[in-house]
Every structure is written in C-alpha cells, then in structure tokens.
Amino acid sequence: MSNNVTSIAAAPSADALAHFEQLFRYEADCWDVHDALSSGRPGFVLLDVRSPEHFRKGHVAGAVSLPHGKIIASRMSAWPPETLFVVYCAGPHCNGAARAAVRLSALGRPVKIMIGGITGWLDEAFALAEGTEDGARNGAKNDAENDSEDEDGVR
C-alpha cells in the first residue's frame, strides 16, 4: 500500500549520507550550543535575531540582541571577519534565523542556525535569561548610532 511517505523512494544511502553530513555545516542544535557556551570558550558569537522586546522577555544567556533587519556591514564590523555567528529566532515556526543567515552570508560572514530556536532551547529544559543585558560587552557595537539603522541601512 502506498502513502505520502512511501510513494517517493528514499534516496540512495550514499546520497543521504552526503546530504545529512552537509547539514552540520549550516546548523547546530540547542544541546551543542549549550554545551559550547558552558565551556566558556564557545568559538562563536550567538545572535538572538528577534525583536528587542522578545529578547527582554527571555533569551539565551550570553546572546547578543541583533534583530535580523539590523544586520549590516557597519554593525558587523565589531567582530573580525572570520568570526562564526550562530543565529536563532523564536523556533521552527519562525524564519528570522534564516533571514539573519542570509544577511550574514551576503556580508561574507560564517554563519550557522541554531535549529529549534527558543522553542528548542526550552524543550531541552535550558533556562532563559531576562532583561536587556546581552553579550554585547564581548565585542559588539551597541551604540545609539547603530540602533537607528534599519534593514535597508548601508553603513
């Protein structure tokens, strides 16, 4: 009997292996991000690309609040060009992380998406931090001039 799952044959194992191995170049899961952050030397900057209001209500500790529409060259100059960014948004129902990844990639920046976003983080039973303090003190520019830029900024 055929159904929507079985009506299309699975890819050959070699193709599936190549596909699934490639995913790790583009994404990391919440568990791995948490583990890296807990080490004290994660090797990446974690960007919360949701609105400042959502960030204040709850975010991953150590994340920098930078809404995806504010990702522009002048803002990103706070970090060396080789800095790896891991981006997240609300969860699988939100495309904000993908929008951020597109913007960072277009700027020539290495980027991965934290799959699951805040929803996945909470599903793993990890705590959220509240308030406005973020990882900006670790190298991000977070000044009034940059806050006035919008997604069409060219600075």
Chain segment 80-114, per-residue pLDDT in tens: 999 999 999 999 999 999 999 999 999 999 999 99
What is the residue-averaged pLDDT of the chain?
89
**In terms of pTM, does the model score above 0.75?**
yes
Query: Residue 65 falls within a domain, yes or no?
Result: yes
* Domain assignment of residue 9, yes or no: no
> Could you tell me if 27 and 112 are in contact, meaning their C-beta atoms sit under 8 angstroms apart?
yes
Does residue 89 fall inside a structural domain? yes
What is the domain-level CATH number for residue 62? 3.40.250.10
In this prediction, residue 132 has a pLDDT band, given cuts at 50, 70 and 90, of confident
Would you state the pLDDT for residue 145? 35
**Quick check: helix, strand or coil at residue 86?**
strand
pLDDT of 136 reads 52
% of residues, the chain, pLDDT over 90: 83
